[in-house]
Homo-oligomer: A and B are copies of this chain.
Amino acid sequence: MKLSLNEPIIIVNFKTYLESTGKKAIKLAKQAEKASKETGIQIAVVPQFVDVRLLSDIVEIPVLSQHIDAITPGSHTGHILAASIKEAGAIGTLINHSEKQLKLSEIDKIITTTKIENLISCVCVNNPNVSKAISALNPDIISIEPPELIGTGVAVSKAKPEIVTNTINLVRQINKKPIVLCGAGISKPEDVSVAITLGTKGILVASAVVKAINPFELLCKFAEAIKKIEK
């Protein structure tokens, strides 16, 4: 499964919720797949490491890893090897999520590794300044997620639109290539519309979808919100 960086993207981070672990991860991923097929909008899923192969084998939508470590093959018990998540079917990875922040030299090394392994790199940043710095490291995707809004239901795109526009501007000053997503607090279709209007290519969403009564329905609404703006 490929992810096109020229088309809008919804990335669903499964985190370590029980609602998105193991068998429940399958169910959720299938709903994401169905929503993607029905709406034509790309939806990628980001399960826990142990569930990467499980989902890659079952659904026909892109599967990302939540993290990889700045290591090469060898003696690194308990670490995440890029080659292993790739062989399991992941086509890319989150890097530096606010819940798994990394040293700068590690981020640099991991982005380099993703290029070698032909994996898509999605680096999460906490503010526009940091997005500018990351832009210099040339990842595929930069996702702006102010940590203070994660899990609040208050969307960055609505509550602090200037953070999103500043991010896009600062990223572009350095590098035309990376696409920008936004996350943190995205829970309503309107949050998605605003994110796209502000210039992002899509969203990174977690609890709102994982804990939704009907994730399929919510993802469809998100996708439709994107389609309306894109026209």
Starting from the known contacts A16-B75, A17-B74, A21-B84, 20 additional A-B residue pairs (CB-CB under 8 Å) come to: A15-B74, A16-B71, A16-B76, A16-B79, A16-B84, A22-B88, A46-B77, A48-B80, A49-B49, A50-B88, A66-B77, A67-B77, A75-B206, A76-B99, A78-B100, A104-B107, A104-B134, A108-B130, A133-B136, A135-B136
A181–B68 Cα gap in the complex (Å)?
Answer: 30
The answer to whether residues A151 and B54 also contact, given A81-B21, A133-B104 and a CB cut-off of 8 A, is no
Contact check: which of B16, B50, B83, B129 meets A108 at CB < 8 Å?
A: B129
Query: Which of A13, A84, A87, A104 has the largest count of B CB atoms less than 10 A from its CB?
Result: A104
- Which residue of the partner chain, among B18, B73, B79, B85, contacts A99 with CB atoms under 8 Å? B79
Which residues of A are at the interface with B, using a C-beta cutoff of 8 A?
A: 13, 15-18, 21-23, 46, 48-54, 66-67, 71, 73-81, 83-85, 87-88, 94, 96-105, 107-108, 125-127, 129-130, 132-137, 150-151, 170, 174, 206-207
**Given A103-B102, A130-B105, A136-B132, CB of A78 within 8 Å of CB of B50:** no
Could you tell me the distance in whole angstroms from the C-beta of A134 to the nearest C-beta in chain B? 7
Partner of A75, one of B46, B52, B99, B130: B99
Q: Is the CB of A73 within 8 A of B17?
A: yes
Contact assessment for B81 and A48 in the assembled complex, using a CB-CB cutoff below 8 Å: yes
Q: Assuming A50-B49, A132-B136, A174-B174, is B108 touching A15 (CB within 8 A)?
A: no
23 contacts between A and B (CB under 8 A): A16-B71, A16-B81, A16-B84, A18-B83, A21-B83, A22-B88, A49-B50, A50-B84, A51-B84, A54-B88, A66-B78, A75-B151, A75-B207, A76-B99, A78-B99, A103-B104, A105-B127, A108-B126, A108-B133, A133-B133, A133-B134, A136-B170, A174-B174
- In the assembled complex, how far is the CB of residue A208 from the closest CB belonging to chain B, in whole angstroms? 12
For this chain, the copies found in one complex come to: 4
Give CA–CA (A18, B82) in the complex, Å.
11
A170 to B101, CA, bound (A): 25
Residues on the B chain within 8 Å of A66, using CB: 77-78
Q: Which 7 A-B pairs have the closest CB atoms?
A: A78-B100, A67-B78, A22-B87, A49-B49, A132-B136, A77-B97, A77-B99
A78 touches which of B17, B75, B81, B94 (Cβ 8 Å): B94
